[in-house]
Amino acid sequence: MPFADSLILNVDDSEGARYAKSRILTRAGFTVIEAADGNSALLRAREDKPDLVLLDVKLPDINGFEVCRLLKSDPDTRAVLVLQTSASYIGVADKIRALEGGADNYLFEPIEPEELVANVKALLRLGKVERELRDVDRRKDEFLATLAHELRNPLGPIRNAVELLCRLDPNVPERQDKARQTILRHTGHLVRLVEDLLDVARISQGKITLHEERVELQTFIGSARESVTHIAESRNQALEVRLPAHEVWLSGDHVRLAQIVGNLLHNAFKFTPPGGVVKLSAEVIGQEILIRIADNGIGIDATKLDYIFDLFAQDGFTPDRVQDGLGIGLSLVRTLVALHHGTVSASSAGVGQGSVFEVRLPIDAVGSADDSAAVPGADDAGAARILVVDDNVDAADMLAELLGISGHDVKVAYNGQQALDRAAEFRPTYVFLDIGLPDMSGYEVAAKMRVLPGMDDAVLVALTGYGQARDREQAMEAGFDDHIVKPIDFAKVTSLDLQRRKR
């Protein structure tokens, strides 16, 4: 029978009524367990995980409405279907109360046996469809995360190869330079789309976390501005910036704060015609910083303001603008702002009248920070010995070439054992080490490398396609000094203090 594996929890304080309903359901092919009061029902639901609870409203300890509410509010039992019944509460208001409290259906007693069985079967079919949809959604999220991770691997070598060409031969004809810049620009766009795919999967799975620290306003604003410079230049658009003259410190994740502002700027430039103006301003209001991004672009229809921050929403989309993105950016902004205990809003005078986005975030302090650290080793000079370890040969070679033309002494290894042999012989001061190696994990390599003679003071940098806070923590726990997410941004590599451990 199609429902032979379905488990029903029958809850009724009347022994006779409970027996009658259990007999009807058992004869229909269901497996039935029983409870005579609300507390027993809650306990059995948690322990036995029934597919459906047949729940009478009038119970001796807790009424059925409250039992239903508790079942639906508990993560362990919220997916259990609830069919409420009553011979006493038979008004429309009672049915509405039950359904609003989470019940999946409500029947007035007495109930004909055929009607009871038909309702149970209908709810079980509904539950099966819901489980299948949840499973599809879960597999979709896993696919997006895997796809984004795999796409990261070829993007790094492509970007670094063009960077290498630019450094090896900086003075090239204009047409050749334009071709290089086109590759870099669109590779950057691909990287952005990949990051958005990863983030939407993280949002769906509730896995977005923050690496919190004290962050100064101008530092993350500066990072955001850099991320959209090429867009503004390519479209001949202007960015006007007005920031407080004094320092403003926030508690948050520098990368995510830059992403908030960067996404809003990217959105503003995207929907502003060539030659247009985008204005970025920030001001302290009480204990908050108000960041405002205004443009004179296409504006937002008033009917769309309510869902502009919804996932996959795309206002202003037309067939000739398919490059506009995935409809993820503003949804990410809302999520990240909420994680920083702030708010975001959008306004527009209408189509063709431009748009204004405002972000409000709590601030820690205004003024200079006493704990700002000086950059170590700023006066050091000379080349560092660097070992690059990656089983992706193109990625390893391109990074090594870039570091080499920057004046460093660089060796390459393509697996874990080769890395250990190179390290023992070369004694590098810096190691860029991929986590996913074919013969052993990067964590194992790092642990073995630390005990090699002369390697206890080396700086180990983890290279990985996974960029969650937990991934960084795991790298730090394994003995790494830093953590870089693929595709590797050469600017990030060169910003590291490659001289401070030079021996």
Fold of 146-205: Helix Hairpins (1.10.287)
SS3 378: coil
The label of the residue with tokens 């015609």 reads 273
Which class for 461: exposed (0-12), middle (13-18), buried (19 or more C-beta within 10 A)?
A: buried
- Reported as a single tens digit per residue, the pLDDT across 355-388 is 999 999 999 877 654 443 333 333 344 578 999 9
Q: How far apart are CA 187 and CA 85, in angstroms?
A: 60
pTM attached to this predicted model: 0.51
Peptide bond just before 487 cis, omega within 30 deg: yes
Banded pLDDT at 311 (limits 50, 70, 90): low
- Find the mean pLDDT for residues 237-251: 91
Work out the average pLDDT over 439-458.
89
Q: Is the pLDDT of residue 222 over 90?
A: no
CA distance 467 to 483: 9
How distant, in Å, are the alpha carbons of 153, 303, 330, 331 from that of 349?
Answer: 44, 12, 19, 22
First to last CA, the chain: 75
Within 8 A by CB and 6+ apart from 399, the residues are 156, 160, 388, 390, 432, 488, 490, 493
- E strand or H helix that includes residue 251: strand 248-252
Mean pLDDT, residues 15-37: 93
Spell 270-303 as b/e; 16+ CB within 10 A means b: bbbeeebbbbbebeeeeebbebbbbbbbbbbeee
- Name the more confident of 209 and 68: 68
- Tokens describing residue 339: 């994680």
Q: What is the mean pLDDT of the chain?
A: 83
What's the mean pLDDT in 301-325? 61
Question: What percent of the chain has a predicted confidence (pLDDT) above 70?
Answer: 84
Per-residue confidence band for 142, with pLDDT thresholds at 50, 70 and 90: confident
- For domain 7-111, give the CATH number: 3.40.50.2300
- In 3D space, the residue among 477, 447, 457, 443 whose CA is nearest the CA of residue 384 turns out to be 457
Label residue 502 by pLDDT band (50, 70, 90): very low
Helix (H, G, I), strand (E, B) or coil at 255: helix
SS (H, E, C) 59-122: CCCCCHHHHHHHHHHCCCCCCCEEEEEECCCCCHHHHHHHHHCCCCEEEECCCCHHHHHHHHHH
Name which of 467, 457, 459, 446 is nearest 493 in CA terms: 459
Mean pLDDT of 407-424: 92
Q: Where are the beta strands (DSSP E) in 398-479?
A: 409-413, 430-434, 459-464
Class in CATH terms, 385-495 = alpha beta
Q: Looking at residue 302, what is its pLDDT?
A: 83
Q: How far apart are CA 386 and CA 450, in angstroms?
A: 15
In one-letter notation, the amino acid at residue 39 is N
Domain edges within the chain:
7-111, 146-205, 213-315+323-362, 385-495
Domain 213-315+323-362 in the same topology as domain 7-111? no
Cα 487–223–206 angle (5° rounding)?
60
State both tokens at 368. 């200079």
Q: Which fold has domain 213-315+323-362?
A: Heat Shock Protein 90 (3.30.565)
Least confident of 1-5, 163-167, 481-485: 1-5
- How confident is the model over 131-157, as a mean pLDDT? 77
- Beta partners for residue 119, in sequence order: none
pLDDT value at residue 69: 93
Lowest mean pLDDT across 257-271, 340-354, 399-413, 476-490: 476-490
Give me the pLDDT at residue 494, please.
63
Q: What is the pLDDT of residues 129-138, one digit of tens each?
A: 888 888 887 7
Half-sphere exposure of 92 (CA within 13 A, CB side): 0
- Alpha carbon 249 to its chain centroid, in Å, reads 24
